[in-house]
Amino acid sequence: MEISAPLLVLLGFCAGVLAGFFGIGGGFLVTPALNILGMPVAYAIGTDLAHIMGNSVVATARHRKLGNLDLRLGMFMIAGTAAGVEAGKLMVLTLEAGGTAGSTVRSFYILLLGGTSMYMLHEYLRGSTPGIGYGGHLRRLCIPPMVSLPASGIPRVSLWLVLGLGFVTGMLSGFLGVGGGFIRMPAMIYLLGVPTTVAIGTDLFEIIFSSAIGTVLYAREARVELLAAMLMLPGSALGAHIGALGTKHVRGVKIRFYFALTMLLAALSVALKQAAVMLGYGYAESLALLLLFGSAGMMTLNIVICTLRGVAGEHVSTSPAGGVLAASGGSVHAMRALRLAARIAVRTGERLTLLVVREPGMEVEHVKRRSLEVVRAEGADAEVVVREGAPAAEILQESRRHGLLVLGSHGTRSIAEHLLGSNSEKVVARMRTTTLVVRDERISRVLVCLRLPEHRPAVLRAGIEIAKIFGAELRIIHVVPLPVLYRVKTLPLSLEDVLEIYHERPSAMRRLLSEAEAEGVRADFSFRQGIPEEEILREAEEWGAELVVLGDSGWGMLSELVGSLSEHIVKHAGINVLVVHRRSESLFGQPAELKAGGAGDAHDRHNTSLHGVSNNEVSHLGYRACHVQ
């Protein structure tokens, strides 16, 4: 059996990127891929287990997440896991002796990948993310012996439940060559009631041990291709790092859809391989290989490009532009935007420019006159620029020379706008400067969305400036972006969990609030956990925010397809949205004269690192912790 070494490195890289990005082990891809590449299924499972073990060691060494381990729970579960892995391996070897291992394991993969992807697609189309609420019943099972798990805060739980959980995930691991974390982690949280941070640490501990046990058991049967596992490991370790970084730069509620699609295509590839083996169609095997590597490769390429562009976008220099540009088409919502732009210009002393894009049937002189009347009624004056062409393109072109673009947007949308996007959405998608999309003239509550711990200080500064201009209250929100697979079911997280997972330092967060308070803006903090798009909109609605401030992020090939976070918020918020351009350092593109430190310490604030959490500090903060459930 010969497999191309570069193909193995590439496979490891693809699996690593997807695993890091989606927050899963990546085993679901490697075992079928090795099998499709020509490795017998028992070898594919053994080799993948060795590869998973290596990957989990890299993850543990780099993140040192085992600090939140419940060793007692881990040890009990390992007993079940070891038995489960052995049972899984025996099943594979028995099937292999009967000559049916390949087809049975492939059938399970088709069912598992196909079923999960169909369920996720159904959930995506239904547009909901329901939580799991049946954990309590199993926890009350009183089959002796009962054990206590003090590190997880569980006074009494049946040992059989813990062993059973270990056995099921172990068997899955031994039979399919997967880590099993996608079942173990939610099961620990919902069935046993283990806190999320402890579940993450214990899950990693279990993956290391179950894959190590699996590797030993399969190697004992000479079913591990050591060289193949060693070749895949560097690619997957680097890929997992890039994938995890990608979650910071690529957002979009449709990511779940793409995850489901990747799994569905993987299921289809396995089905093609099955057809090739059963019916002897040689071309089906080539098609399976093409489909698996094509879909995984395309998704990987998208994530890598988005990540690289996102990282590059974070380090570009400051835009020197200044002044307010207001786009006017003469409509009611455009006039509303003009009034707001004029107020901003008057209160900040910035110059105001009106842009009128000539459209068929438009009386330009009338629009100019009416626009100037509106601006002057607010006590401002403006220079008028008239252009001809497609409105979105002209607005984008002109906005390059200004620090802030203000444009109106209406609530009701035509079918064409639904399909192609409104002008405001098109502008935000390709924005050249900080953009305020206006739907309402009132701004008394400003919701600033920050991405901790490496938040962009410009977003907070722009939020503070706009709150100061309108005398508004400020709320800073951080949505904990859990890996996508764990987003499928909402996990319960407390503020302490958030701080532990992200190693955030409360004093750094207090400094964010003090920045606002130093400017005379009343501010508080809110944490949510789940899908950022959904949680930001929910918080805005519940708090009654009239303006959402967020950074321009998530652009690249994948965002072109699924839309960025800012586009999603602009499309669905129904309230004013301020999107701060990635090159801006404040509301008008240049460092603001903040009393709390001024432009001089902008660099320091940019490098605000929130490491080294001290739990006793947390209790003194009094932040609001918002839970989704």
Partner 1 sequence: MNPVEGTWEYAISVVVVIVLEALLLAGMLELSGRLLAAMRG
Residues that bind partner 1 (CB under 8 A): 50-51, 53-55, 57-58, 61-62, 212, 215-217, 219-222, 224, 226, 229-230, 233-234, 237-238, 241, 315
**CB 30 to partner 1: min, Å:** 14
Nearer to partner 1 among residue 246 and residue 421 (C-beta): 246
Choice between 196 and 236, CB closer to partner 1: 236
CB of 26 to partner 1, least distance (A): 15
Indicate the residue among 49 and 340 with the shorter CB distance to partner 1: 49
CB closer to partner 1 out of 231 and 354: 231
Peptide bond into 195 cis (omega under 30): no
Residue 173: how many CA atoms within 13 Å on its side-chain side? 38
Q: Which is nearer to partner 1, 49 or 342 (CB)?
A: 49
Burial class (CB in 10 A: 0-12, 13-18, 19+), 483: middle
Computed on alpha carbons and rounded to an integer, the radius of gyration of the chain in Å comes to 27
Q: How far apart are CA 521 and CA 599, in angstroms?
A: 19
For 141-186, the DSSP string reads: ---SSEEEEGGGTEEEEEHHHHHHHHHHHHHHHHHH----HHHHHH
40 vs 492, beta carbon nearer partner 1: 40
- 473 beta partners: 445
The burial of 135, by beta-carbon neighbours within 10 Å (0-12 exposed, 13-18 middle, 19 or more buried), is given as: middle
CB of 20 vs partner 1, minimal distance in Å: 12
* 144: preceding bond cis by omega (within 30 degrees): no
For the bound state, the minimum distance from the C-beta of residue 220 to partner 1, rounded and expressed in Å, comes to 4
Toward partner 1, which CB reaches closer, 360 or 600?
600
Alpha helices in 435-588 (DSSP H): 457-470, 484-488, 495-502, 506-518, 532-543, 557-562, 565-572
- CA 555 to CA 565: how far, in whole Å? 9
3-class secondary structure, 140? coil
The CB-of-14 to partner 1 minimum distance in angstroms stands at 17
CB of 519 to partner 1, least distance (A): 29
Minimum Å gap between C-beta 609 and partner 1 is: 11
Cβ proximity to partner 1, 205 vs 588, nearer residue? 205
The CB-of-315 to partner 1 minimum distance in angstroms stands at 8
Q: Which residue in 459, 458, 505 sits closest to 602, CA to CA?
A: 458
Report the SS3 class of residue 324. Answer: strand
